[in-house]
Amino acid sequence: MRLVFVCFILFLFCFNVTAQKVAVENFQKEFQVHISQTNTPVKIDGLLDDSIWSIAEIKSDFHMKYPTDIGMPKSKTTVQLAHDDHFLYVAFTSYDSGKSIIQSLKRDIGHFDNDGVGIMLDPQNSHTNGFIFIVNALNAQSDDQISIGQNDGLTWSWNSKWFSATHRYKDRWTAEMAIPFKSLRYPSGQQTWGVNFLRVDMTNYQYSGWTPVPINFKIYNMSYTGSLLWDKVLATPKKNAVLIPFFTSNVQGDRENKKPANYGASAGLDAKITLNSSLNLDLTLNPDFSQVEVDEQVTNLTRFSIFLPEKRSFFLENADIFGEYGIPGIITPFYSRKIGLNKNNNPIPILGGARLSGNLNATTRFGIMNIQTLSKGNYMPENFSAISVNKNVFARSVFKIYFLNRQNFQTAKQQKEEVLNAYGRNAGASFDYYSKDGKWHSWYSYHHSFKKGISTEDNFQEGGFGFNTKKFSSLIDIASVGTNFYTDMGYVQRINNYDAERDTTIRLGFKHLYTSTSFMIYPAKGSTVRRSIKLETYAVLNPVNTFNEADFTLSYQSEFKKTSSIKTSVIHNELDLLYPITFTNAHPLPAAHYQYSQAAITYNSDSRKILSYMLTYTGGQFYNGKINSIVGNITLRSRPHLNLILQAEYDKLYFPALYGNSQLFLVSPKIEYNFNTKVSWTTFLQYNTQANNFNVNSRFQYRFKPMSDLYLVYTDNYFTTPFMQNKNRAIVLKVNYWLNL
């Protein structure tokens, strides 16, 4: 079966290389923009009165992207490009009715729900990775790195130092950007870059792009970039070094562990050193992540742990080189949150780290990382190392290999008692095939783990293929995870099974088959822009190929012209529960065979309104009982400065008398006030009865210079039962300064 699967992937590859070659090559020939050189630096004020803008080539024929990819947008957009020896300059003119819809002035809010413009750049012209820079009409910046595997969207976690300004007129608004070449990692001698431009017009609810990107792909899909043609070979940027020293001062109290208030101060240093136009060295010494936004808590009604995204800045640049192996968020050998955090997500001090990443040449990216942690209590120091190499082959396909190592510096006694904790190593390779137009995608990967004394059931294999067009998409994924496949630096969702009766966790491998099929309909008339029907199946087998679980979900969704949508779903689940589990404080549900079905409905209102909301109701069977669940959020805005967001979830579980009942509350109000694009204040409250925790996190940020910040953070945790008994609290002041050398 494995041989048949590999042969089928190769067949798809051969077919698509032949079928798509001419069309894609013509695409970049049809959409070309020339860039003009200026000998005078452009003044970034949004006025577009510099002399270069009177002669630079103008591109104005944007194409509709959403809610339809047919025709031209209602509002005209023009874009021009220029450069000098240090910056790439971009000028946009966005015509409209004289008003802009701006939901926030916060940095890295992305391109949804805000009038804005952006540029996507592929300096390697590899069609696999690049950069995106966006400003909204009031000059709030967003930026990120783009990689070929980002099917779930951008995170806006990567940051770079660049400059922008906007200006409002009666019938239009204008924007200027200055992007330093040293931020772009381009190869010397490359005179053709991939490029595309984005315009968001929320009044008409239209997304448009310079090139016609099909509606079933993201606007930043690298298959559909045009050509940016340079007038000369760019000079290689000079080596650049950035030092980011920081200082923190804090007051902490821990009443839960009966520790008195502790006053402390510390300092550290981050550095970014450009070795050449394509390679970057990142260093960190005594890093502090106290300014990072708090994790959003969730109610967990599954049998497994929850995957939480990485938010710490050091781990974000070129994160895809290490993190896009396996199935990110479900089964992945590298999960950077394992570094510097223990199993309870409590911080472990990091001494320092280094990461070298970038492009070796036009077709090869690589990353090398090393992090050293310190001891904390009984938690011994550890060293984490990672190396990954990505090789572009066959136009848009990628062959990747990696090696990971976690080394624990145990005492001799600990080495005898905790053999499995001495070290953990992983190695693997994967091949991802993408057709040039992005319609076909197939993949296969093999991953192996190394633990002392273990030599069986220690690998993970995965493969599948997907097909994506405007009206039809499908995906099949097959995976096999061995019981002894350990990921000391990774995450595997199902491998640890909790036994509620014995209060222990049992490792058990599994095999899964996931399928997804969607049909889309685009009505020519009426208020509906798209209707979709989706069928998902998920089947799991035990290691000996006996039945474990099967899920079936059928959903129907309608999306409307006014940004609202409604979705209905029917879910059926069947499983052989291997170990007792409890969702209440009563007797655990027994290991047995269960079948249950649920129905759900979700409504999203018009997000452009001052008051918008989302509401989901789920009801039906749940194991041998019943469930009623309501999840919702309400957002009240005073644009563009204030956002009041109330998120809440209520779950009521009913089981036969022996197994008890439970009511779970998760209430999460959030207040965001952006005084301007430099000063913001955010307070996030989270009341979670399942976690028995009430959290307060309030963060003030002042960006006094580009990429230089002052943070004042207050955090407080209480028990929900007994109500409002304090666990711990802290106040942290942090100042960091971006210094170019």
- Tell me the percentage of the chain whose pLDDT exceeds 90: 70
Pick the closest to residue 91 from 51, 145, 144, 142 (CA basis): 51
Mean predicted confidence (pLDDT) in 562-570: 96
Pick the closest to residue 101 from 63, 136, 139, 66 (CA basis): 136
Mean predicted confidence (pLDDT) in 332-361: 88
pLDDT given for residue 412 in this prediction = 67
Of 123-137, 335-349, 632-646, the poorest mean pLDDT is in 335-349
SS3 15: helix
SS3 184: coil
pLDDT given for residue 566 in this prediction = 98
Where does the pLDDT of residue 15 fall: very low under 50, low under 70, confident under 90, or very high at 90 and above? very low
Q: How far apart are CA 304 and CA 308, in angstroms?
A: 13
* Tens-digit pLDDT profile for residues 135-165: 999 999 999 988 876 655 788 878 888 999 9
SS3 457: coil
Where does the pLDDT of residue 127 fall: very low under 50, low under 70, confident under 90, or very high at 90 and above? confident
Of 3-7, 97-101, 335-339, 671-675, the poorest mean pLDDT is in 3-7
- Higher local confidence (pLDDT), 19 or 143: 143
Tally of CB atoms within 10 A around 412 = 7
Length of the chain: 741
Q: 730, 717 in Cβ contact below 8 A?
A: no
491-501 as b/e, with b when 16 or more CB fall inside 10 Å?
bbbbbebbeee
- Helices within 536-684 (DSSP H only): none
377 contacts: CB under 8 Å, gap ≥ 6? none
pLDDT of residue 5 exceeding 60: no
pLDDT of residue 415 exceeding 70: no
Mean predicted confidence (pLDDT) in 702-712: 94
Q: pTM score, two decimals?
A: 0.89
Pick the closest to residue 465 from 3, 126, 1, 11 (CA basis): 11
- Strand residue runs (E) in 191-321: 192-201, 206-209, 226-229, 240-254, 259-274, 279-285
Q: 166, 48 in Cβ contact below 8 A?
A: no
pLDDT given for residue 24 in this prediction = 53
Of 199-203, 225-229, 258-262, 460-464, the poorest mean pLDDT is in 258-262
- Taking each continuous run of H as one helix and of E as one strand, the counts in the chain are 3, 42
469 contacts: CB under 8 Å, gap ≥ 6? 214, 216, 439
* Tens-digit pLDDT profile for residues 510-541: 999 999 999 999 998 889 999 999 999 999 99
* Tens-digit pLDDT profile for residues 649-694: 999 999 999 999 999 999 999 999 999 999 999 999 999 999 999 9
pLDDT of residue 483 exceeding 60: yes
Name the token pair of 15. Answer: 């077919």
- Tell me the percentage of the chain whose pLDDT exceeds 70: 95
